[in-house]
Structure 1
């Protein structure tokens, strides 16, 4: 799962990043309005943590741009500007939650997971695809109730494909979502082929009722058998 933190305060930004990385989230950072607009214009995120007070612009304008362009990113406003008007305006613009500063990092983590459960799992704790169950909170996968041991990247690839079931996912979109925004600097996608190959074998060995189908020259699609 991929998170963008838009926060101008460096120490806060790094603390939030460290907290979420401990939960196995892939975290990208933006410290200004300009950086934020650049990132959301190019990359996709599962959740955006958005500060209202940015040195070169208003975070609510970032939120407005996200919603006007129809992006599916979940947005949690994280701001010290804790007036009722700002909260109401943010929620009216389409924010999923509002977390006033100061806050405990444990609460931040809980809010992010709650928003993602609502968006990805319809509020449930598990994602069920065929005979596969995915527990996002604990990064666990089971097939017919038996644990499937995956490394972190294998889990992230499977989760991303499952949340885009029956949709064609390009190699570049998969790479960027699982490995980060700077993956476009890579010369090739050999690292993806390796993870997909290992993941396919593990799914086959456990008789999973899904198939990762390669679409030559484009990407992958997850199909239920």
Structure 2
């Protein structure tokens, strides 16, 4: 799952980034309004952690921008401004949650998990499709009740495909979501092909009733067989 942290305090930003990366999220950061505006205009995220007070603008304007673009990124406002008016305004603009500073990183992680689970998996802690079962809490995958070992990126690809099971996923979207926004500077998608090939083999060997179908020239689609 991909997270964007918008925070201008360097130490806080680094603590949040390290905490979420330890939980295997793909994390992007922005320390000012301009950079954040560019990122949310170009890329999609599962959750945006949004500070209200930025050196060159108001974070609530970024929330407005997200909604005007028609994006459904989850948003948690993370701010030292803990007034009731700020909370109400942020929630009315479409934020999912409000976490006042200071806070424990464990609470931040719990809030992020809740947002991602609610938005991507209908609030379910266990994700099931066909004979495949995924537990995001411990990143385990079972097929026919037998555990299948995936590496980090194979797991991330599978989870992203399942969270978009009704959609055609482009190679670019898959790469950005699993490997991060800097992937647009890559010369090729060979690294994606390698992970997809290995994941497909593991699904086939375990007789999974789902498969990842390649759509020539475009990307991939998850199929239940």
Query: 2: CA distance between counterparts of 1:151 and 1:74?
Result: 26
Displacement of 1:84 in angstroms is: 0.2
Gaps of 5+ in 2: none
- Per-residue deviation, residues 49-88 of structure 1 (Å, max 9, x unmatched): 0000000000000011111211010000000000000001
Query: 2: CA distance between counterparts of 1:112 and 1:27?
Result: 12
Structure 1 residue 201 corresponds to structure 2 residue 197: no
Displacement of 1:166 in angstroms is: 3.1
Query: 1: CA distance between counterparts of 2:45 and 2:3?
Result: 6
Displacement of 1:129 in angstroms is: 1.1
**Matched length:** 225
Gaps of 5+ in 1: none
Query: 1: CA distance between counterparts of 2:172 and 2:84?
Result: 41
Query: Which residue of the partner structure matches residue 145 of structure 1?
Result: 145
Structure 1 residue 17 corresponds to structure 2 residue 48: no
Displacement of 1:209 in angstroms is: 0.6
Query: 2: CA distance between counterparts of 1:15 and 1:144?
Result: 39
Displacement of 1:139 in angstroms is: 1.1
- Per-residue deviation, residues 103-153 of structure 1 (Å, max 9, x unmatched): 000000000001111111211101111111111121111112111100000
Displacement of 1:39 in angstroms is: 0.2
Q: CA RMSD in A?
A: 0.7
Query: 1: CA distance between counterparts of 2:168 and 2:19?
Result: 32
TM-score normalised by L of structure 2: 0.99
Query: 2: CA distance between counterparts of 1:197 and 1:29?
Result: 30
